[in-house]
């Protein structure tokens, strides 16, 4: 056993130590592995290895009907399942020339924004954990719990919902959702302020995050980065504003944009997005249009021939579905574009040359989910 190890060591270049982070590592957010070449405490080169969670979802899609495939979409980015569902349903609806009724659109916005808050709260906790503070994780999960309770009333599920359907939503929103959300809306800003006092203003936390992993926007364009990662570098780009879907143009909300492009800016952008999402949900619940919650769609969905690419602003960035239809029950080809895939792609660019501790923080600032990266 020992001899084998020595033989393996002989093949390595002698100058640097190669350290294997993952697949089971506390801060790789799932089964992600990267081989880091380190020189003392500094990382020289990162070789990311993915595919541990590859389930061949794109191939499965070709062998299932449009409706059968929908539950699998939740499993891509499992922290923001409803955002994925929304994007998939919008893509199929665009193929079929259906538009969801206004009430369904408002309900979809509520779902998507609540899920965004839940996902960003996980990010908040994970960011604390990555810098060594354990408490934010529990705080983040505690509030996420409240949101998940609202989801449970709405959709019956907590993590994988299967709530948004092609043509609308599965069932109408219940009146208790509003009472629960109002309660949450009253308590949460106070709590959020307390959390920010605990962690955002912490001297050590700022020291760890500020001027770490600075990314220029010109580089980010090329790497295909999107979402809060892109906005953290000062790009005014939000798909909810640029290509409004599901009636986002009706709501009044702002886009936080970073100035420095470091990890701290990405963190602040996400924290601000939580507040903006709260605003959107409150507006949507106040002005909920009356009417149907779904349109009538055929029992067997057979979109006409054609191909569409539909994207929306997911919790981590741009989620997109590229669907090629040949007029069958099954999609001919379905490609899923996920933000995590693009962000992990640029990990070597963003993190090499930094300290080990910084590399972990930079990876955390992309807020990747391996389920959506490996698909």
Partner 1 sequence: MEIINYEYKKTDNRDVIAAIQPKAETAGVAVKFSEFKEQLFCEIDSADIKKFCSLLNSDAELSFEYIKFLTAVDYVEYIEMVYCLYSFKNNWSIIIKVKLDGRKPVVDSVCSIYRGADWHERETAEMFGIDIMDHPNLKHLLLAGDEDGYPLRKNFEIKWEEREYIPPEKFE
Partner 2 sequence: MVWWSILLWALLKLVIAFLFIFITALILIWMLRKIMGHMQYRRGPRHHGPHGIWQTVFDTIKLLGKEDIIPSGVDRWTFIWAPMIIFVPSLMAFVFLPFAEKIVATNIEISLFFVLAIMGLSIIALLMAGWGSNNKYALLGGVRSAAQMMSYEIPMLISAMGVVMMSGSMNLSEIVRAQQHIWYIVPQLVGFFIFGCASLAEINSTPFDIPEAESEIVSGFNVEYSGFRFAAFFLAEFVNLFIVCALAALLFLGGWLPFTNPVYGTIFFLVKTYVLIFIVMWIKSTFPRFRIDQFMNFGWKVLLPLSLANLFVTGVIVLMVDKFRGV
Binding site for partner 2 (CB under 8 A): 1-2, 5, 17, 19-20, 25-27, 41, 128-135, 138-139, 142, 198-199, 202, 204-205, 207-208, 355-358, 360
Distance CA 88, CA 338 (A): 12
Task: Give the residue among 149, 146, 155, 142 at the shortest CA–CA distance from 185.
Answer: 146
For the bound state, the minimum distance from the C-beta of residue 63 to partner 1, rounded and expressed in Å, comes to 7
Q: Which DSSP helix (H) or strand (E) runs through 206?
A: helix 203-209
Distance CA 74, CA 280 (A): 22
Q: Smaller CB distance to partner 2: residue 141 or 180?
A: 141
Neighbours of 291 (CB within 10 A): 10
Q: Which residue has the tokens 């208790």?
A: 176
Instruction: Say what angle helices 356-366 and 102-130 make with each other, to 10 degrees.
Output: 170
Count of residues of this chain found to bind partner 1 when the rule CB under 8 A is applied? 55
For the bound state, the minimum distance from the C-beta of residue 148 to partner 1, rounded and expressed in Å, comes to 28
Candidate list 78, 141, 180, 322; residue touching partner 1; CB under 8 A: 322
Candidate list 147, 268, 278, 285; residue touching partner 1; CB under 8 A: 268
Site for partner 1 in 231-260 (CB under 8 A): 235-237, 241-243, 252-259
| Residue 122 near which of partner 1, partner 2, none (CB within 5-8 Å, type-dependent) | none
Site for partner 1 in 169-208 (CB under 8 A): none
* CA dist list (Å): 245 to 94, 102, 106, 128: 11, 12, 11, 33
Our finding on whether 333 is near partner 1 (CB under 8 A) is yes
Q: Smaller CB distance to partner 1: residue 59 or 207?
A: 59
Distance CA 214, CA 206 (A): 14
Q: Smaller CB distance to partner 1: residue 17 or 242?
A: 242
Task: Give the residue among 221, 247, 209, 252 at the shortest CA–CA distance from 318.
Answer: 221
Our finding on whether 222 is near partner 1 (CB under 8 A) is yes
Distance CA 133, CA 139 (A): 11
Q: Which DSSP helix (H) or strand (E) runs through 9?
A: helix 2-11
Our finding on whether 22 is near partner 1 (CB under 8 A) is no
| Residue 342 near which of partner 1, partner 2, none (CB within 5-8 Å, type-dependent) | partner 1
DSSP-assigned letters across all residues of 325-364: E-SSSS-SEEEEE-HHHHHHHTHHHHHTTSBHHHHHHHHH
Distance CA 232, CA 246 (A): 25
Candidate list 75, 170, 329, 335; residue touching partner 1; CB under 8 A: 335
Our finding on whether 265 is near partner 1 (CB under 8 A) is yes
Binding site for partner 1 (CB under 8 A): 50-51, 54, 56, 58-59, 62-63, 94-95, 218, 221-225, 235-237, 241-243, 252-259, 265, 268-269, 272, 306-309, 311, 318, 320, 322, 324, 332-333, 335, 337, 341-342, 344-346, 349, 374-375
């Amino acid at each position: 056993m020992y001899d084998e190890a020595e033989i393996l060591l002989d093949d390595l270049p002698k100058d640097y130590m190669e350290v294997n982070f993952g697949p089971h590592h506390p801060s790789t957010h799932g089964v992600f592995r990267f081989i880091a070449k380190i020189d003392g405490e500094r990382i020289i080169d990162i070789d990311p290895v993915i595919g541990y969670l590859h389930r061949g979802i794109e191939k499965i899609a070709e062998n299932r009907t449009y409706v059968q495939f929908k539950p699998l979409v939740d499993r891509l980015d499992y922290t923001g399942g409803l955002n994925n569902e929304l994007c998939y349903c919008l893509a199929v609806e665009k193929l079929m020339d259906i538009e969801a009724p206004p009430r369904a659109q408002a309900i979809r916005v509520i779902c998507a924004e609540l899920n965004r808050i839940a996902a960003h709260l996980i990010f908040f906790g994970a960011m604390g954990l990555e810098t060594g503070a354990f408490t934010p994780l529990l705080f983040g999960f505690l509030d996420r719990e409240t949101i998940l309770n609202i989801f449970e009333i709405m959709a019956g599920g907590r993590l994988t919902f299967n709530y948004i359907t092609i043509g609308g939503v599965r069932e109408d929103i219940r009146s208790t959702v509003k009472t629960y959300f109002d309660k949450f809306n009253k308590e949460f800003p106070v709590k959020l302020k307390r959390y920010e006092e605990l962690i955002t203003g912490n001297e050590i936390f700022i020291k760890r995050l500020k001027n770490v992993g600075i990314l220029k926007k010109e580089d980010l364009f090329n790497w295909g980065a999107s979402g809060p990662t892109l906005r953290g570098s000062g790009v005014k780009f939000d798909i909810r504003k640029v290509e409004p879907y599901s009636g986002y143009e009706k709501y009044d909300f702002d886009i936080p944009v970073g100035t420095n492009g470091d990890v701290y800016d990405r963190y602040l952008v996400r924290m601000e997005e939580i507040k903006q999402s709260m605003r959107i949900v409150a507006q949507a619940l106040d002005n909920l249009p009356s009417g149907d919650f779904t349109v009538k769609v055929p029992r067997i969905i057979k979109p006409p021939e054609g191909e569409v690419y539909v994207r929306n602003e997911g919790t981590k960035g741009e989620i997109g579905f590229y669907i090629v239809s040949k007029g069958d029950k099954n999609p001919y080809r379905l490609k899923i574009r996920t933000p995590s895939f693009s962000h992990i792609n640029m990990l070597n660019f963003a993190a090499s040359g930094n300290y080990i501790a910084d590399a972990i923080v930079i990876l955390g600032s992309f807020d990747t989910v391996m389920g959506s990266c490996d698909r």
